[in-house]
Each structure stands twice: as C-alpha cells, then as structure tokens.
Amino acid sequence: MSIEPRAKVAPERVLPGPVPMAPETAAQQIVVRRICTRVMPEGMDVGVAELPPGGQQVWIDTPVPLGEQASWVLHHRMAREVALVGWHCEADADHLLVLGWSAACLHNRIRLLQSGLRRLTDFEPTAQRAVQLDGHHPDDEPTSALVAGVCASIERRLRWPERLAELDGFERSSGLPHLQLLLAQVTGLEAKVAGACQEHLVMARVLARAVCEHYARHSDLVRAQRQVLGESRRWVHASSMIRGSAGARPNPPGGGRPHMGLAERRIAASVINHGVPRATPAAVAPRAGYPGLGEAQEGAR
C-alpha cells in the first residue's frame, strides 16, 4: 500500500507587534499637545495620536460630547494656533489633522516674528507697567515676590515667551531644501525674539526693584515711580542700540563711544536706577500729555 508523504507543516506565524513611533513624530506630538492644551478652555483635554503615514490627529477628549458648533470653533481655534508654527492643518467639527510643513505657513510665521521684533523695540510700555508694579503696593508683600509678580505679568503680556517655550526641545527639519531654508530662518528669528523678550524682562526687574528701593527711602510711591521712570528713559530711548545687541560693532575710526553689549547695558541700567540719586534734566518730571499705562499698552498693540 502506497501512502502519500505528509506535507511539511508551515512554521507558526508570529504577528508583528506595534511599530515604535519615530522620535521626530513623538516630538511633534508633544508640541501639538502643548499648543492645543493652551487653547482649550479650563477643564477640557485633548487627545493626540499618530496619523499614518505622517502627521497627527487631534480631538477634544471630554466625557460629555460637545455640540457641533462649539466643537467646530475649538477645532478651528486649535488649527489656527498649530498652523502658526508652520504646519499645514485641516479641521472640521470632529477632529484636527496636523500634516507636514507648509511653505505658506512658514512664510506667515516669519512675518509674525519680524512684526514681533519691531514691536519689541518699543520699551516704553514695559517701563510704564514695571514702575506701576502691576497695580500692587510695596507694603503688600516682600520686594522679591513683588518683583517676580511684575515680571511674570509682563512676560504674559509679551506672549512670545510662552509660545516659544512650547517648542523647547523640538528640532525642526525637512528633506526639502526650500523648506529647510525657511525653517532655519524661523529658528534664527525666534532666537532674536527670545532675546528681545529677555531684554524687556531684565528692564522690568530692574525698574520694579528700583521703585521699591526709592519708596523705602521716602515712603512716597508716586514720587518713586516718577523718579525711576524719568531715570529709565535714557535706556528706553536707546532702542536702536539695544536692537544691535546681537553682535559687537567695531569702534568708529574717530575713537567714538564703543557699542555696549547686553551685560554692560544691564550693569549700566542697574547703576542708573540703584546709584546715588542725581539731578537730571526736565525729563525727570512727567511730560505734558504723556500717555498713561493703559494708553501706552494699547499703542504698543
């Protein structure tokens, strides 16, 4: 009796496990979550998941479903903020899709950063708010806490520090040369904006502390604010010199005044505001028709 030989049994197949997320995709997911969480109202959360073959899908994660109108508004608000980083976004009432880099969105970010740099050359609103101590009184709390609160308020008003902090640790790149050039320009402008914001915060800290110290001498807050604001105008009106702080300039052939670096200007500002009170020209007294804090801040916008 002939028996057909038994066919070989195929080895047991092992199903592939989940593919690990690429580092650049994980980094993008962190940034997208940070931005969308900032936009969401209090008590709401967002879900973020990878969208093959690339990108992110974002949705509103709430136990109670939102109405279509409210969901549409929130998803488009998130799309607007994420697109300001440079990504192409598509949104509807159910979810937000974050796709690849967009040349149009990157050009828009460059314009926003350039506009922000121009506005940050005006130090007058920051000086006004700093000497006003954000509406607090030196007797209300210790000087260190008061100065920290003033700086935090000004940092929130500048808006850029919070938005740039959302991109911390995120390395942006592209395989397309023209997009890589745009990303390099964006990164350079962001560094300049961050430096300009730091100038404002340094100035706010110095002026707020100076007001507290002047007040401690004669217990007259209005006089302290007027005196410190008058002394600070030399620095406020030196915005052209502050704008050039990114690089050292050679001394002029005639041996004129050398360009001051950032550290030197900080020291000079501290000396002006903390040194021996000196008689200054009529700039110490408030100028007629000088705008108040609210008007100066509105003008800065």
Q: Tokens for 211, please give them.
A: 């007001």
**What is this structure's pTM?**
0.70
pLDDT 10s per residue in the chain (301 long)? Answer: 444 455 555 565 555 545 566 777 889 999 999 999 999 988 888 999 988 777 899 999 887 778 888 899 999 999 999 999 999 999 988 899 999 999 999 999 999 999 999 999 989 899 999 999 988 999 989 999 999 999 999 999 999 999 999 999 899 988 899 999 999 999 999 999 999 999 999 999 999 999 999 999 988 999 999 989 888 877 666 544 544 444 434 444 444 443 444 444 443 444 344 443 343 333 333 333 434 434 444 444 4
Q: Residue 261 corresponds to which amino acid?
A: G
Strand, helix or coil at 97? strand
The CA distance from 237 to 152, in Å, is 24
Q: Among 101, 136, 155, which residue terminates a domain?
A: 101
Whether 274 maps to a domain, the answer reads yes
Same domain, 163 and 269: yes
Same domain, 146 and 282: yes
Q: How many structural domains compose the chain? A: 2
Name the residue range of residue 153's domain. 121-245+260-300
Same domain, 72 and 128: no
Same domain, 188 and 293: yes
Instruction: Verify cis geometry, omega within 30 degrees of 0, for the bond prior to 53.
Output: yes
Same domain, 279 and 152: yes
Same domain, 152 and 193: yes
